[in-house]
Amino acid sequence: MYFAALLARTEDGWEASDTELDDVETLSDLTDLAREASVDEDTVLVYIEQEDAWFGVLRVDGEEDPRIYVSDASAAARSSYGEILLTDELLGREPGAEDEIAALEELVDLDGTEDGEPEEPRSGAGGGAAVSEPDLDHDPDAVPAGPLGDLGVLADLGLSEKDLLTLRTDALAEIADVLGAAEVLEAVR
């Protein structure tokens, strides 16, 4: 089960609302949703959690690039909402690299033979050329387990990097408590 909330800072404190993510497909969509809730381009936090698996925080400050923290990237990668937060940049990948590789694989026969030429059987201990095995320890598409992103995303709001890393269940309540937004959040839950 998912829960998403939006916390927008105003002159009078924080405003909270639960958020539907049905129409959100990309990080840009989510960032636009946050900016629409912004008052005078002030800070907006979008919180997404999958119960007992992971949570993520997207922070938008005016027109600045969004800042993202995900508590468990590998768990989030198995979630459609988590995939929104796990951008190529956050994962340390070249943007669009997957699309380029797929296109190249379609254009080029990568088995090393000419078209129509039979593949040579792989030889083992019986001599012949050695065939190198793929590096199974390094998968460029692998998503790391554990926290990923901007650990200081909430530091200036009172939640240190160390405290952020220790949050597990009901992290939103703890974040809202630090921000002084616990009452307004409880009203929307």
Decide if 46 contacts 58 (C-beta within 8 A): yes
Q: What integer pLDDT is reported at residue 40 of this predicted model?
A: 83
Q: What integer pLDDT is reported at residue 140 of this predicted model?
A: 54
pLDDT along the chain (189 residues), means of 10: 90 88 92 89 92 92 94 93 91 67 52 52 44 46 87 95 89 91 82
Q: What integer pLDDT is reported at residue 166 of this predicted model?
A: 93
Whole-number Cα distances in Å, 79 to 37, 64, 84, 90, 182 = 25, 26, 9, 16, 27
Q: Which two tokens stand for residue 88?
A: 């190529």
Q: What integer pLDDT is reported at residue 124 of this predicted model?
A: 45
